[in-house]
Structure 1
Amino acid sequence: MNRMTNTLIYKVRSRLREHLHTMKKKKVRKKMLDYYTQFPSGDDEISDAVDYLSTHPLTTFFGAFQEKYDAGEVEVFTDPSNGLPYVITDGKRLYFKRSQNRRTVQLMFNGLRIEQDAEAPHCYTDADFRITEDEILADVGCAEGYFSLMHIEKTKRIYLFEQDREWIEALEATFSPWREKISIIPRFVSDRDNNNEITLDNYFRETEEKPGFYKIDVEGAEASVLKGMEELLRAPVKIALCTYHHQHDFELFSRFFKEHRFHHRPNRGLMIYQNDLAETTPPFFRRCMIKATNQHG
Structure 2
Amino acid sequence: MKQARVACFGAVHDAVEKDGKIELLDGRIVSEDEVVWLPPIEPRTTFVLALNYSDHAGELAFKAPEEPLVFLKGPNTFIGHNAQTRRPADVTYMHYECELAVIIGKKAKNVKREDAYDYVKGYTIANDYALRDYLENYYRPNLRVKNRDTCTPLGPWFVDAADIKDPMNLKLRTYVNGELKQEGTTKDMIFDVPYLIEYLSSFMTLDENDIILTGTPKGTVDVVPGDEVITEVEGLGQLKNTIVGDEVFSIKSSPEKSAAK
Q: TM-score normalized by structure 1? A: 0.22
The structure with the largest alpha-carbon Rg is: 1
Structure of greater relative contact order (alpha carbons < 8 Å, 6+ residues apart): 2
